Amino acid sequence: MLQLVCPVASIGRVFAVVGTAVAVVGGGGAGVAAYRAAQSPAVPSASPSSSPMPTAVRSPARSPFDLDATPSAGPAAVPSGVARALAGPLAVPTLGARVDATVADATSGATLYDRGGAVAVVPASTAKLFTAAAALHALGAQRRLATRVLATGPVESGVLRGDLVVVGGGDPTLAATGGTSYPRPASLAELARRVRAAGVARVTGGVVVDTSLFATPGLGPGWKPTYVSEGSVAPVTAFEVDGGRSVRAGSGRAARPDLAGGARLRDALRRAGVSLGNAVRTGSAPGGATEVASVQSPTVAALVERMLTRSDNDLAEALARHVALARGLRTDFAGAAAAVAATVRDLGLVAPALVDACGLSPRNRVTPAQLVALLALATRDATLAPLVQGLPVAGFTGTLASRYAKGAAARAAGWVRAKTGSLDNVATLAGIVETRSGRLLVFAFAADRLPTRFVGAAAKALDVAAAALAACGCG
């Protein structure tokens, strides 16, 4: 195992433990620092693995940053300096027919660079930034999502005369086993053990899966049907296990993740010592059903971090539906998108035009200026601090772990935090960077008119553009 130690500007220090995908992000910025200081001991926070600490160290691209330094303490960047830094990187042919970009000072909010910043572009997965902000604002960082098991009949001498109903709580991180990843998810194995500990040894019926918390499962507007078979996302439902993934390694998602999850719960119950039939069906918990056991997800703060770091599509859709519930809206794609937009407006920002919450749809529209305004707010608002902490770190964590490894982008490894996005004709990148002079900037880059064969090269070009901001004084 390799311990990676690198500075992440005034946003903090990152220790990425390879193999367990554990990230520990130090505070930085008034919002992030206040958020970390306010956390109670009961709230799980990112921490190093309990395994023996490794000894190999990857050196940062620049000298270690003083974590106590005031964010954006360096001299202010000026528009002409930012323009010089980005002139070459944003002019490369691999960015296609159009590339739009906005850069702003994180502290003052002043726009430093505007190239089509008001143009509505396809955001791809950078749309998840709005979902993250909406979840944190509407649900609160401490909220957890419960998966419950109810009994439809009396339990006498260990025998339940009826069915067990698993009521999905909209937690797509629910896992067959808890594992050791951060944040540690709720598990079917523990849920089954709790059912047995509650005195249920035999069930005369079977397992009923209640997914009524969310509207009818399905695929989002404009989603390719192959997204399920290739493993990008599962049909949205309030109950799924391991994101609806098949038990076979490397396979796609189940067409009916609710029933697949019910079958896995049945098997977990048997391993826990509960005897029951083979039947697994969908249905609703009847009135009078009594709760036997439950498990809870990690906090919303931890779920937001996971969603952004891994670019978890299922989690984005689930969180948006919980925002819809909180706002009294329907828990389908339209209701979830409307709930995110309304919550973004509550934050004082211009709402994006979304049709899903994860960014898989090419019908979504967001401007680079909207992304930058959200990121700037997140660096100052303690409520949104988990959004900053969840941004992948260049060259170290999440969707940026394999990027910034060589070439012109390598100098920014550890110094850029950004959400990635890619679709067939789209490459986007939006995040936070500290310039060489110590100024914290927020940026959004979008190239959404790409030949499909150019998407990979365009992503690398956007990495180089972010690295140019990290390397410049921009004065």
Instruction: Report the catalytic residues.
Output: 125, 128, 311
Q: Which pair of tokens denotes residue 435?
A: 């310039």
Q: Which amino acid is at 187?
A: S
CA–CA separation, 432 and 393 (whole Å): 10
| Angstrom distance (rounded) from CA 378 to CA 388 | 7
- H or E element at residue 155: strand 155-156
Residues contacting 20, CB < 8 A, separation 6+: 1, 49, 51, 180, 181, 182
Q: What is 263-322 written as a DSSP string?
A: HHHHHHHHHTT-B--S-EEE--PPTT-EEEEEEEPPPHHHHHHHHHHHT-HHHHHHHHHH
Q: Specify the DSSP class assigned to residue 365.
A: B
For Cα atoms 26, 134, 179, give the angle at the middle one, nearest 5 degrees: 55
Give the angle subtended at the CA of 419 by the CAs of 415 and 425, to the nearest 5°.
125
List the structure tokens of 439.
């100024």
